[in-house]
């Protein structure tokens, strides 16, 4: 069987979740992602996942979401995670996974791709730069985590 880039099937979800944990290990984060196969399958209405498979083995995955930019007035693809197994690197699998994810998003009207790179992942920085991505210094990531979100919502209920 040759290498195939295809949409994730439900039975692939545990392998994809393991790859996301592998990405976390690769960049050296101490807190492991909470993603598991059940959560991934349950989020299929939100997330589009393409995988690279060869000889029945998953070698990589790209997880993306549709987004919208008011500044561009356009739909786009937000890449959540892109991972290729160490033994399969150097074969342009990441590029092929990203291209398929972009193709799928473009068929839904996307005209840009947005993503984040972990500060401790210079290899990813080089990879995306080689593909033509530019780093936008005017944007800063801000997150309100679950407990903060609950507190924020409840503050509004008391006014």
Cβ-proximal residues to 26 (8 Å cutoff; 6+ apart), any chain: 83, 121
| Six token digits for residue 86 | 């160490």
Q: pLDDT (tens digit, 9 = 90+) per residue, 81-92?
A: 999 999 999 999
Contact indicator for 72, 110 with CB cutoff of 8 Å: no
Q: For residues 80 and 130, what is the distance between their CA atoms, to the nearest angstrom?
A: 19
Contact indicator for 98, 82 with CB cutoff of 8 Å: yes
* pTM higher than the cut 0.95: no
Q: Evaluate whether the domain defined by 4-157 bears CATH number 3.30.300.160.
A: no
Q: pLDDT (tens digit, 9 = 90+) per residue, 105-146?
A: 999 999 999 999 988 889 999 999 999 999 988 888 888 998
């Amino acid at each position: 069987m040759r290498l195939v880039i295809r949409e994730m099937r439900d039975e692939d979800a545990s392998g994809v979740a393991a790859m996301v944990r592998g990405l976390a290990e690769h960049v050296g984060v101490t807190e492991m992602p909470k993603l598991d196969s059940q959560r991934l399958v349950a989020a299929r209405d939100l997330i589009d996942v393409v995988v690279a498979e060869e000889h029945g083995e998953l070698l990589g995955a790209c997880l993306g979401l549709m987004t919208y930019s008011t500044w561009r007035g356009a739909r786009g693809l937000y890449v959540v995670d892109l991972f290729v197994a160490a033994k399969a690197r150097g074969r342009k699998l990441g590029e092929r996974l990203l291209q398929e994810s972009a193709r799928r998003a473009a068929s839904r009207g996307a005209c840009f791709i947005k993503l984040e790179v972990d500060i401790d992942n210079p290899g990813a920085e080089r990879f995306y730069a080689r593909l033509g991505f530019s780093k936008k210094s005017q944007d800063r990531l801000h997150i309100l985590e679950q407990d903060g979100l609950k507190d924020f919502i409840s503050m509004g209920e008391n006014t």
